[in-house]
Amino acid sequence: MTTEPAATLTASHTRPAAVELSQQDNPQANHTQKPQPATRSAGHVIVDSLAAHGVERTYVVPGESFLDVLDGLHASDIETIVCRHEGGAAYMAEADGKMNQRPGVAMVTRGPGAANAHVGLHTAWQDSTPMLLFVGLIPFAHRDREAFQEFDIKAWFDTGAKRVMVLDHAERASEIVAEAVFAAMSGRPGPVVVGLPEDIIRQQIDPALHPAIPVAAGGMSSTDAAALQAALAESSKPLFVTGGNDWTQAAADQLTGWLERHQIPAAAEWRTQGTVSFDSPSYVGPIGYGRPRPTYDLLEETDLLVFVGTVPGDVITDGFVCRQDWNKKNFLVTVDPSLRGRSGPVSRQILAKPEAFVRDLAGIDLPVKEEWKAWTARMRGEQEEFAALPPAAPAAGQARMDTLMANLVPRLPEDAMVTFGAGEHTNWAHRYFPTRRYASMISARNGSMGYSVPSAIAASLADPARRVVTIAGDGEFLMNGQELATAAQYGATPLVVVMDNQEYGTIRTHQERHYPSRVSGTQLKNPDFGLMARAFGGLGITVTEDTEIPAALDAAFAAIDQDGVFALIHLIVEQRVKAY
């Protein structure tokens, strides 16, 4: 087992060396200079602790219950992103956690604010995303008296978070931050909720910071490695499945190189494409709900499954199809000993984070089998055929997503990123978007709508030079489309594509299957989203004709690159359009 080294954290606001300099040592010292205070408020210590743990920004909807933390952020290097709704703030923090090897951070107030943020917490729970949600609370002395906006934070969040902690003792402020970060990152990553009573965070305490708590990365034992090597040697059609949010680019590159050398295929867990590059000869496509034909039969045809960073859960197995008599040898590589969310029998678990596993996998070297070559080449060929772009030349008539993707993809740089929420509009990204690095696809694997715009803003703020595209459905866009105001305020520059088919398309599809010709509760009447984007300070273009698409993309990228604003293309398509 390996661990990351512990770091000794010190408050950035204390400078003991400077204070101890004498007049002789520093002739320019000001005799009136006062030493730094021996205490700081607990709220300020929380901010110091977050900064010491590497947090670069926090997503906030302010409330009077955590004003002292907001005051601490005023003088901090942590960027405070003020959002327009707690759901948007929580989604941004969750997306931030997916992109980095540390938790994303959101801050909201008690009662209604906490309730609104719950959607992002559920996303982090089901998507295994490290995230911290700080919630301002009523004063300690008012507890259990039905105070204004009072709620029971542990009763609300205990079943949907890895831990729920309340700062009842001010002197533990830095310790609780360290514990929260550790809990979010250790084992299977996930969300942690921290309650901050408004009177407690104002109390003065010792400003010394608690050391970071090292997170165990695990690794393959010699018996694990021997068992995996033997299983590979016996296999004719092995398949790796990558997933989760616990990767680094170095680990992704190392795994890709190992797979390519051995000519072994890898599929991507639903909505996690990019760990093995879209261009790799070992990449054979995404696997999950609505899976494309190239990967539809993979689970049945393979004779050895190696899941890395994820487990065969509900989505990957099309609703727990891995029965008890499902005769597949499998290795589940995850540092979560509980294997939560797993479907079907397990041959062997390897307790390791992806980076530790891939490091040890490099020691396994096998002769390449002809069966592996044929199996991988066939599946790769099917994936390439599936992902081949449709004709770029626009056709007469209504705008089409096929035409948009055919014109969008060639305009993308190598490191382009796509984000999206939930709905049938996501299928075009799954099929065509070139995900070439980790992380280049950020989405809500719990099927949460409203994720597209907030996640794109978080991605753009995290890497302003990167091309970020989000594909939103008309149904989900208005759930958090108001966060375009946040994009304008902080200079986020994503390209937002809103596919408008005037309905909740996924639900309509299921409705047609189970209740044919009885459309109910799925139809929408939409505003002009292009006009809305312009009102928020970006470029907005409404496209109704297929022939308008190339010029719309040119204008959108010009606005992003030259004017430094976000751009939105409102694409009005036929109602029952399908990607596959």
pLDDT in tens, 438-448: 999 999 988 78
Provide the 8-state DSSP code for 336: -
**Mutual orientation of helices 249-262 and 354-361 as an angle, nearest 10°?**
40
Which of 449 and 173 is assigned the larger pLDDT? 173
Residues 6+ apart with CB under 8 A from 336: 187, 188
Q: Quick one: CA dihedral 240, 242, 246, 248, positive or negative?
A: positive
**Which backbone phi and psi does 445 adopt, to 5 degrees?**
-75, -10
Q: Quick one: CA dihedral 540, 579, 449, 126, positive or negative?
A: negative
Q: Which of 27-31, 131-135, 250-254 has the lowest mean pLDDT?
A: 27-31
How far, in Å, CA of 476 to CA of 486, rounded? 18
Q: How does pLDDT run across 55-82, given as a tens digit for each residue?
A: 999 999 999 999 999 999 998 999 999 9
Q: Which pLDDT score, from 0 to 100, does residue 8 have?
A: 40
Q: Which pLDDT score, from 0 to 100, does residue 222 have?
A: 96
Q: Quick one: residue 397, left, alpha or beta (phi over 0 = left, psi -120 to 50 = alpha)?
A: left
Provide the 8-state DSSP code for 561: I
pTM: 0.89
Position 552 pLDDT exceeds 80:
yes
How far, in Å, CA of 365 to CA of 137, rounded? 55
Q: How does pLDDT run across 452-469, given as a tens digit for each residue?
A: 999 999 999 999 999 999
Contact (Cβ atoms closer than 8 angstroms) between residue 376 and residue 263 = yes
Share of the chain above pLDDT 90, in %: 75
First to last CA, the chain: 44
Which residue is associated with the tokens 């830095």? 174
Position 294 pLDDT exceeds 80:
no
For the chain, how many residues are written? 580
Q: Which of 185-194, 292-301, 310-319, 369-378 has the lowest mean pLDDT?
A: 292-301
Buried b (16+ CB within 10 A) or exposed e, 6-28: eeebebebbeeeeeeeeeeeeee
112-116 contacts at long range (C-beta below 8 A, 24 or more positions apart)? 112/149, 113/61, 113/63, 113/86, 114/86, 114/151, 114/153, 114/156, 114/157, 115/86, 115/151, 115/156, 116/61, 116/85, 116/86, 116/87, 116/90
How far, in Å, CA of 117 to CA of 489, rounded? 21
Q: How does pLDDT run across 337-369, given as a tens digit for each residue?
A: 999 888 888 999 999 999 999 999 999 999 999
How far, in Å, CA of 479 to CA of 443, rounded? 15
How far, in Å, CA of 27 to CA of 128, rounded? 55
Tokens encoding 113:
């604010």
**Residue 4 identity (one-letter amino acid):** E
Tokens encoding 419:
């984000």
Q: Which pLDDT score, from 0 to 100, does residue 29 have?
A: 39
Position 23 pLDDT exceeds 70:
no
Cite the beta strand spans of 457-494 per DSSP E.
468-473
Q: Which pLDDT score, from 0 to 100, does residue 293 have?
A: 66
Residues 6+ apart with CB under 8 A from 477: 452, 453, 498, 529
Q: Which pLDDT score, from 0 to 100, does residue 345 have?
A: 86
How far, in Å, CA of 350 to CA of 52, rounded? 32
Pairing verdict, β 79-82 and 57-60: parallel
Instruction: Give the pLDDT band of residue 326 (cuts 50, 70, 90).
Output: low
* Cα-to-chain-centroid distance, residue 301: 31
- Using a 10 angstrom Cβ sphere, with 0-12 exposed, 13-18 middle and 19 or more buried, the burial of residue 362 is exposed
Number of helices (H), then strands (E), in the chain: 21, 22
- Enumerate the β-bridge partners of residue 308: 242, 333
Q: How does pLDDT run across 463-504, given as a tens digit for each residue?
A: 999 999 999 999 899 999 999 999 999 999 999 999 998 766
Tokens encoding 192:
């942690």
Rounded mean pLDDT of the chain? 89
Cite the beta strand spans of 298-416 per DSSP E.
304-308, 329-333, 348-350
* Cα-to-chain-centroid distance, residue 96: 6
